[in-house]
Amino acid sequence: MSSLNLDDFTDLIERPDGGVRRDAEARRERLIVPPGSLGRLDDLGEWLAAAQGSVPVRPVERPRVLLFAGDHGIAELGVSARPAGSAELLVRAILEGASPVAVLARRLGVPVRIVDMALDCDPETLPEEVVRHRVRRGSGRIDIEDALTLEEAEAAFRAGVALADEEADSGTDLVVLGDVSVGGTTAASVLVAALCGTDASVVTGRGGLAIDDLAWMRKCAAIRDALRRARPVLGDQLQLLATVGGADLAAMTGFLLQAAVRKLPVVLDGVVVGACALVAQRIAFRAPDWWLAGHNSGEPGQAKALDRMALEPLLEQGVTVGEGAGALLALPLVQAAAALAAELPEKPEADEKPEE
C-alpha cells in the first residue's frame, strides 16, 4: 500500500484567478488595437495574467526547460526506431549542446535541466545533478510485466513533486516540460488509450523517427497487450503508472500536479507529456488550467489526450523530434503575448462633455 494520498491534490489545486482574468479582459478592451486583432495572443495574455494574479501581466523572464529521462523495456520489441536502452545517447547530445532542444535553448537563452529517472546506463557516466533522482535502471516490459513496483512509482512521483517545489522556490516563472526516452511513446499511448477508453490502433503513432509499417504493427500489438494489463487498475492512478507507465512518466505526473499547486505555468511538449497530463487530470480536474499545449506533434495519442483536456496546441509545425523542442518553439509566442498585454498603451479617454 502506498502512503501517498493523491486525493489531496484535488483540494490543493485552485484555478487561476478568475477576477484577475476579468480585469485583464477589461484592460484588453481599452488597448489601442481592436479587440480580437491579436488572435490567440489576447487569450494567452489573459491566461498568463490569471496564472500570475497580476494585471498588467508580468514578463516571462525566468523560463526553464525540464526534461525527464528514461529507458523503457518495451523498446526491446522493436517498437522504436532507436535501439532499446539508448536514451543515454540522447541525454549526452543535449548536455553537449548538439541536439535540437539544446540549440533552441541556447538561442533563446533558456536553461535546460535533465532529470534521469530510469536510464539504462551506469549512473557514474553522467553528471550527479542529472542522476541524483534516479529510481531504477530502465523500466519493465509493460506488455508482460509491470514497469515499476508500487514503491518505485511512489518514489518517482515524489521526486517530480520535489522538483516542482525546487523550480517554484528558485523563481522559475514558466516550465517547458519534455521527455528524453526510448519506448516512452508506447507507454504513453497505453495510458491514453486506457484513460480514454479507446483501442490500441487509435493511439498508435510512429514516434519521433517515423517507424516503418512492420514496427508500427509491433508497437500496436505491444500497446494492445499492455492495455489489457492497464484496464484492471484504472481506478488507482499510481498503480496505473507502476503497471504500464515508467519512472519518468510517474515523475512527470507528480511534477505537473505540484506545479499546479504552486501556480507555476507549464508548456506541454508531445505525447509522453500529454499522457502524464491526462493522468494528472484524472487525479485533480483543475490541474489542466495551469498548462498550455505547446505544439501538435502529429502523434494520435497526443491529439486524443489534448482533446480530452480541452487544450489546443499553440503551434502546428510538424516537429516530431521530442525532447521538449516543439514546446520550446512556443515560448517566444507566450513571451510575445505577455509583452503585448503589458506594454501596449490604452486608448486615450474621450473628452468629457461640458456640463449644461
- When pLDDT is averaged across residues 137-158 and rounded to a whole number, the result is 97
pLDDT of residue 36: 85
pLDDT band at 210 (very low <50, low <70, confident <90, very high): confident
pLDDT of residue 354: 47
Q: How far, CA to CA in Å, does 296 sit from each of 149, 202, 303? A: 32, 16, 7
The closest alpha carbon to 18, from 41, 49, 50, 47, belongs to 50
Which of the 8 DSSP states describes residue 338? H
Rounded CA gap, 116 and 235, in Å? Answer: 28
- When pLDDT is averaged across residues 206-234 and rounded to a whole number, the result is 90
Q: Among residues 88, 167, 299, 323, which one is catalytic?
A: 323
pLDDT exceeds cutoff 50 at 352: no
Share of residues in the chain with pLDDT > 70 (%): 97
> Coil, helix or strand for 67?
strand
- When pLDDT is averaged across residues 268-279 and rounded to a whole number, the result is 97
Ranges assigned E (strand) in the chain:
63-71, 112-118, 174-182, 266-268, 291-293
- The 3-state secondary structure of 178-191 reads EEEEECHHHHHHHH
323 is catalytic: yes
> What average pLDDT is seen over the chain?
94
pLDDT of residue 318: 86
Domains of the chain, first to last: 63-333 (3.40.50.10210)
